[in-house]
Chains A and B, each alone.
Chain A
Amino acid sequence: MPVAAPERDLRAVALSSREYEVILEKLGREPNHLELGMFGALWSEHCGYKTSKPLLRDLPSSGPGVLQGPGENAGIVDIGDGLAVVFKIESHNHPSAIEPYQGAATGVGGILRDVFAMGARPIAVLDSLRFGIPDGGRNRYLFQGVVAGIGGYGNCFGCPTVGGEVYFDDGYADNPIVNAMCVGLVRSDRIRTARADRTGDILLLVGADTGRDGIHGATFASVELDEGSHTRRPAVQVGNPFLEKLLCEACLQLNELEEVTAIQDLGAAGLTSAACEVAHRGGRGVDLDVARVSRRERGMTAYDVMLSESQERMLVVIQPGGETKARAIFDAFELHADRVGRITSDRRVRVRDGRDVAADLPLSALVDGVPLRTPPSAPGPPPTSVPVPPLVDPAATLLQMLARPNLRSRRPIFRTYDHQVQDNTVFGPGFDAALLRVPGTNKGLALTTDGNPWYVALDPYAGTRAAVAEAARNIVCTGARPLAVTNCLNFGNPDRPHVFWQLQESVRGLADACRAFELPVVSGNVSLYNETSGRNIPPTPVIGMVGLLEDLSLRCPAGFRRAGDLIFLLGDTREELAGSEYSRLFASAGALGVGEGPAARDAGEPPRVDMAAERDLHNAVLAGIARGIVRSAHDVAEGGTLVALAEAALFAGLGVQCPALSSGASPAATYFGESQGRIIISVEPRRVPELRSILTSQRVPAHALGVVGGDELQVGPVRLSLDRVRQAWETPW
C-alpha cells in the first residue's frame, strides 16, 4: 500500500497523486525531497510535454534536407555549400507576465543558447508577441517591459532582431505571449548534438554561478497564474547578456575540439534537466556532485542547486583528455568552469553532495516515464453572430484602420532593436519576411513568424492552416522558397475540455498544412496553462518559417519600386469578414471570449485556405520573381486589400492610382476583407504578357488594379495624400 505524499509537497511540484503513485511503482519506494523535486521538474508539462506529446507525433518532421528534427535543442536543415540553418522558437509567457523585462530578456537568452549549443552562430532573432490593448495600466507596462527586455538582451549580445509580429486583444490582458525564435548557421560537418554516449566523459558546468533564482520555473510555467502569481517573482530569472556573449564565443571555439562529446544549455529545470537529458539521449547514466557547483550564495541545498534556473550556464560533456584544452578556451574568455560529474554506464542519475548520496534514480523513469495524458476534449459553445455594418466611407475607414494598434507602423518598436549587427540584414523588420544574407555566399534566408489569433479563435483547425499558409506566402514574397517550420503552441489550461479541443484541432491543422506544403516541422515548443484567474488566452499557435533564396540578386521587396509599374492583385476576394480587423471596429470592447460562453463575439468562419490554390499562387509568384517580372510583392493580410496597397505605397514613398476596386463581394469585404491566398504585385508594363502566361499556366486569378505613381493613394472613391495616410499609420504608441 503506497504511502500518500503530503498534498502540500505534491502541490509544490505540481504533480498529481496519480503521478505520484506511478513514481512509487517505478522506484519501489518513496522518493526523497530532492528526488520528488526532480520528478516534478521533468514531469512538468514544460519539460515532459505530457499533454501535448501524443498530438505532436502527427507532425511531419522529416524531409530531404532535414539534418536534425525535433527532440534536440533546435532543428537543423541543410542549405547547401556545406552549411546548415539551425532554428527554434520558444515561449517565455509565464515569466513575462510576472516580470516583463527579465521574462522577455531571458526568453531571448534561452533561445540563443539552444542554437549555439548546437555549434551554430546565432544570426537572427524574431519575436512573436501578444498583449492586451495597450491603452494604459498593466497591459501597457507589460508591452513596454517586454519590448525593452528583448532589445536589452539582443542588442547587448550582438544578434540582430530582424522580425516578428505583435497583436493586441483583450484576450491577452494580464497574460501576454512572448515567443522568441533564433536562427543560426553552422557548418554541416560541425553540428553538435546534446548526446553523451561515452562512459567516462566528464561534465563541465561553465558560465554563471548558480543562485536561487528560478527554482521551480518549469513547474511555475506549467500551472495557471492567479492573483498571488506576482509573489512568485523570485521564480523569474535575471539575464546577463554580456556573460552570454562570452559563453557563445567560447562554445563556438569549443565546438572545434574533437574531445567535446556534447554541449547542452541549462534552461528549464536547470542542471537536473540538462544532465539527465544529455545522458539519457546517449543511453548512459550520470553521476553529479553538487558540492562542486560554484554558488552565488551560502546555505544553498542540493535541492536548490539541482533545480536552480540561473541563466547563462552551459554543460559541456568532454573526454577527460580534452579538459585542459577546454579550460584554455574558458580562460581566454575569463569564464569559470566547474567539473561537476561524469557520464556512467548504468543509466541512473546519482546526485552526490560531497560524500552523501542525495538522489539516485533510474534515468528512463525520470526523463521518459511521465504518464502521457489525454484530457477530455469538447468544442466550446458556438460563437454568436455579430453583424458587420456595410462600408460607408472607405477613406475615413482606412485612416481609422491604419491607426489601430494591430495595423499601425511597428517602427517605434523595431527601431529599439539592433536589426543590423553582423552585416547580413538585407530586408529588416517591418516587411512580409526578413531577408538575411548567408555570410560568404550569395544566398539569402527569409525568416518570418505568423499566427493570426482571431482566425484560430474562430476555428483552430482552419486558423492554424491559415497561419502556415500566411507564413509561406510571406517567405514567397521575398522570392525565397519555404524550407522548414518551427512552432510554438500557446494555449490555455488543457484540463478545460474546450482548450484541449483547441489544441487538438490546431495541431491537426498544423500537420495538414505542413504536409500540403511538404514542409517539415523540425523544432517547437508548447506553452499550456496560459490562464489567469480562470480566464484562458485565445488559442495561439505561432508558426516560425525559414525559406531559402538561392540568389540574393533576385530578391523581391514588399514596397513598390517605380512609377509607371502596373499593380495586380493575385488571388480571389470572397465575402469573408469574420475575424478581420474591420469586424473588430464594430465589436464592443471585451475579450475574444471564445469558448468562454455567450460573450463570444466576432462569429463566423475564418477566411478559407485552399491549399492547392495557395501552392499555385506561390509557384507563380516565385517564377515571376525569379525571371525578374515581378518587381514587388506584398501579402494581403490583416486589414485587407486597401491596407496592403497603402503599405506597399508607404514602404516605397510612391503613390497609387487605381480607378476602381471591385470583386464579387460586398464593398466592405472588397476593401477590408482578409481572404487568404492573395498577393499584391507590381510589374513593368512591357512584361505583362510574360506575367499573364505564368499566371495562366499556374491557374492563378489576377486582377489589374492600377498603376504606381504620384503622391496620393487613389483607389476608387478613396483619394488621400500619402502624407495623410502616413500620419495615420505612424500614430504614436
Chain B
Amino acid sequence: MKAGIIVFPGTWSDRDCGHALGDILGQPIAYIDHRARRLEDLDLVVLPGGFSYGDHLRCGAIARFAPVMDAVAAFADRGGLVLGICNGFQVLQEARMLPGALLRNASCEFRCEWTNLRIEHADSPFTNRCRPGQVLRIPISHGEGNFYAEPETIRDLETRGQVLFRYCAPDGRITAAANPNGSLANIAGISNQRGNVVGMMPHPERACEELLGGADGNLVFQSAMRSLAALVA
C-alpha cells in the first residue's frame, strides 16, 4: 500500500503518520507538497493533523483551497482511500468531502488525552480489522473537535452507517463523561456515503507502539491495507 501524506504549511502530524505507516507497518510512503496538482501511484491519501495555515480564519478553511485539494477530490472520486486525521478531518469538511463541522470543544480548551473509541461499523475500509463494538484506545489532541451537523444530516449518517467511531467509556458504553469535546452523539469519526473517505479527530498514528502507550491505532491503517489487498485479489 503506497501512502501519500499531504503536507500543508503548518501540518505537523506528517512525520508521525510517516513513522507509523513507514517505520512500523513497513509501507512505502511519500510526502506530498500542498502545491502538487497530481497524485500518482498512490493507494491511500492521508491528510494529517496540525495547524494548516495556522488555523487562521477557521480550521481547514484555507487549506481546502490548496492546489493539491483538487487532486485529492479527484482521487476520492475514483474511489481512492482518503483518511483525514484531526486537522485533516477539518480540511475534508471544509472541502465538502465530508459532512458536518467541527466546533470549538465544549470545554473551550485544547485537549490532549487518551480516549476510548467504540467501533460502530466494521465493514469500512478503515475498520475492517476490528469487530463491531470493539473499543480502541487512541488519543485526541485538538481545540476544535466538537462534531456538529444538522439533525437530518446526523440522521442520514446514522441510518447509512457512516458513523464509524464514537467516544465511549472503557467498557464501550456511550456516556457524556466519555465525550471529551461535546460532539453530537459522541461522534469521533465518520465516512462519506461511499465509504472511501474517512475523517476522525483522534490520532491513530500516535497509538501504534506499546512503548508510547498503546498500539490500537495500527488497526485503522491495517484495515486500509486489508481492503486494498482485497481489491487487488
- Residues in A lying within 8 Å of B, measured CB to CB: 151-152, 155-158, 240-243, 245-246, 333-334, 415-426, 437, 439, 552
Contacts and interface: CB of A to CB of B under 8 A. Distances in A.
Interface in B2-16: 9-10, 12-13, 15-16
A242 B53 contact: yes
A439 B211 CA distance: 12
A242 B211 contact: no
A418 B10 contact: no
Given A423-B19, A426-B211, A333 B9 contact: yes
Interface string B135-153: 0000101010000000000
Contact of B51 (A151, A156, A552): A156
Contact of B111 (A152, A416, A423, A425): A416
A417 B139 CA distance: 13
Interface string B72-87: 0000000000000000
B205 A423 contact: yes
Contacts of B139: 420
A552 B211 contact: yes
Given A240-B54, A426-B212, A421 B12 contact: yes
Contacts of A425: 212
A156 B56 CA distance: 11
Contacts of B205: 423
Nearest to B113: A415
Given A242-B10, A423-B20, A151 B206 contact: no
A136 B113 CA distance: 27
A172 B141 CA distance: 31
Contacts of B56: 242
A245 B12 CA distance: 9
B50 interface: yes
A156 B144 CA distance: 13
Contacts of A419: 112
B141 A242 contact: no
B55 interface: yes
A423 B109 CA distance: 22
Contact of B110 (A155, A243, A424): A155
Main DSSP-derived SS at the B contact region: mixed
Contacts of B110: 151-152, 155, 416-418
The 10 A-B pairs at the shortest CB distance, nearest first, are namely A242-B54, A158-B12, A156-B51, A423-B16, A418-B112, A418-B141, A416-B110, A415-B113, A242-B10, A416-B109
B12 A334 contact: no
A418 B86 CA distance: 13
A426 B13 CA distance: 17
B16 A421 contact: yes
A156 B211 contact: no
Contacts of B113: 415
Nearest to B16: A423
A241 B9 contact: no
A488 B203 CA distance: 35
11 contacts: A152-B110, A242-B51, A246-B9, A416-B109, A416-B110, A417-B112, A418-B141, A423-B15, A423-B16, A423-B20, A426-B212
A439 to B, nearest CB: 8
Contact of A158 (B50, B206, B209, B211): B50
Contacts of B209: 423
Contacts of B111: 415-416
Nearest to A426: B211
Contacts of A245: 9-10, 12, 51
B87 to A, nearest CB: 11
A423 B212 contact: yes
A418 B109 CA distance: 12
A334 B19 CA distance: 26
A536 to B, nearest CB: 34
Contacts of B51: 155-156, 158, 241-242, 245
B112 A420 contact: yes
